[in-house]
Chains A and B, each alone.
Chain A
């Protein structure tokens, strides 16, 4: 009869973890934004460990025996954590506390077997996950979004220290006495390794808790006053870079990227392109159904006059040649006012970085 211990727990945990991460990325951008994770990091969390599963980077060779570090099971998680540490989206002191607790628990539950390496039995291998999840949750009660990176970092580094580094003497002994043609790999089970699972599943549980909270509602449309405050971009190059990484960008993201490209073109002195991108930014929003309805049902002389002037200016200079810097600058400002005015009516959220 099949017992609980016979179930492929590692596989199930990895599957649930990756599925939930995918769900959050697609459906709950408010959570992703709150955690401070970039699109690149989400991709690495979801796919980096699977991709690096097959790559063992040799760090020591003794005769025919290789000591290696697995790219997906150890190096990719560590690179991510170092990045968070440097960008300060990981609470540093709490990370050390969670790491120490997970390391202790991991060290207590693992055993060394010469034939298979360092293993943890069912149900003991859930303990590092539970410790990382509970501690991270308790320490970040005031700001639960920070618990996501904390749970991942504490679980991953804690398991790496407790399971592998604190058993380094066993590994070294095995390394010197192992039969030829053996690769001893740290984090070598990739997405099925405790180093990956402890961090990944604890992080997923944090995301699951966050997902239970209602999504941030988009703000209600402002009154039809025009002009209002124009869109302000803090870092246009960053907006452009994150836009390029988006799959299926929405009209708001297209509009903001258009404004960023217009800014960058103005900086370079490319006035033709600046005007084109200003116009394209407004057009991206005007094509949205809700915005189209708003424009059709709520006439506004000043707003519509500026839309018309921008369109005619674009068409005129498309045929007649490069506009001067004053025209391109005025078009850029007009586009920023129009996008700021129209965006709330589209009721969209964006995933771009660098927008003030």
Chain B
């Protein structure tokens, strides 16, 4: 019997990325976004575009808390824009590039802007109050789907592949 007849059916044999590798790449990207959000907030405050408010922590005004508050406003829109634009233009983010991963359709074409937006919008389920449940659900779906896709990948019709091994 040939592999085609006995193995799981899939449109093509794609070197899909493992959960661990994807998680580490995402962690790296998150650090970059956090750094970017802090830097942009600092710059905006230095240029007078934003005012860093004094927010009281345990009865004492703290500029650091005010800065953190502003960063928290800009961080999620920045995260969505970062992943969406980079994956649409190149199929990769810096984290994915370092770990040899690429987001693409099964035929190798990069995701459209809409596909990249949908894929990364559903990533934000992780930061909702029941985000841990969605992370577990994503990990489960990734394990059971034929092309190792999480919910966002399925909705956008894309896969994450390894570029080299």
Which A residues have a C-beta under 8 Å from some C-beta of B? Answer: 39-40, 43-44, 47-48, 50-58, 61, 63-64, 66, 68, 71, 76, 180-181, 183, 240-248, 254, 257-258, 261, 264, 276-277, 279-280, 283-284, 315, 318
Establish whether residues A315 and B11, one from each chain, have CB atoms under 8 Å apart when the complex forms: no
Which B residues have a C-beta under 8 Å from some C-beta of A? Answer: 2, 4-5, 9, 11-12, 49-51, 53, 55, 66, 69, 73-74, 76-77, 80, 105-107, 114, 118, 121-125, 127-128, 141, 145, 147, 151, 154-159
Residues on A with C-beta less than 8 A from B127 are 54
Classify the interface of chain B: helix, strand, loop or mixed: helix
Establish whether residues B73 and A276, one from each chain, have CB atoms under 8 Å apart when the complex forms: no
Residue in contact with B11 in the complex, picked from A51, A64, A71, A261, CB distance below 8 Å: A261
Residues on B with C-beta less than 8 A from A55 are 76-77, 80, 124
Closest to A183 in B: B73
Establish whether residues B124 and A254, one from each chain, have CB atoms under 8 Å apart when the complex forms: no
Known: A51-B125, A52-B121. A241 touches B105 (CB 8 A): yes
> Could you tell me the distance between the alpha carbons of A241 and B158 in the complex, rounded to whole angstroms?
8
Residues on B with C-beta less than 8 A from A57 are 77
Residue in contact with A39 in the complex, picked from B107, B114, B155, CB distance below 8 Å: B155
Known: A52-B121, A58-B73, A257-B11. A240 touches B155 (CB 8 A): no
Closest Cβ of chain A to B132, distance in Å, is 14
Classify the interface of chain A: helix, strand, loop or mixed: helix
Establish whether residues B69 and A54, one from each chain, have CB atoms under 8 Å apart when the complex forms: no
Residues on A with C-beta less than 8 A from B105 are 241, 244
Establish whether residues A40 and B157, one from each chain, have CB atoms under 8 Å apart when the complex forms: yes
Residue in contact with B154 in the complex, picked from A54, A245, A264, A280, CB distance below 8 Å: A245
Closest Cβ of chain A to B151, distance in Å, is 7
Establish whether residues A246 and B154, one from each chain, have CB atoms under 8 Å apart when the complex forms: yes
> Could you tell me the distance between the alpha carbons of A280 and B2 in the complex, rounded to whole angstroms?
11
Residue in contact with A54 in the complex, picked from B128, B141, B147, CB distance below 8 Å: B128
Residues on B with C-beta less than 8 A from A53 are 128
> Could you tell me the distance between the alpha carbons of A44 and B122 in the complex, rounded to whole angstroms?
8
Q: Other than the known A51-B123, A243-B11, A247-B154, what 12 A-B pairs have Cβ atoms closer than 8 Å?
A: A40-B156, A44-B155, A52-B121, A54-B76, A56-B73, A181-B66, A244-B11, A244-B159, A245-B155, A261-B11, A264-B107, A279-B4
Known: A242-B157, A245-B155. A50 touches B125 (CB 8 A): yes
Cβ contacts A to B, 12 pairs, < 8 Å: A47-B122, A48-B121, A51-B122, A51-B124, A54-B127, A58-B73, A64-B51, A240-B11, A240-B106, A245-B156, A280-B4, A284-B9
> Could you tell me the distance between the alpha carbons of A242 and B49 in the complex, rounded to whole angstroms?
45
Closest Cβ of chain B to A57, distance in Å, is 5
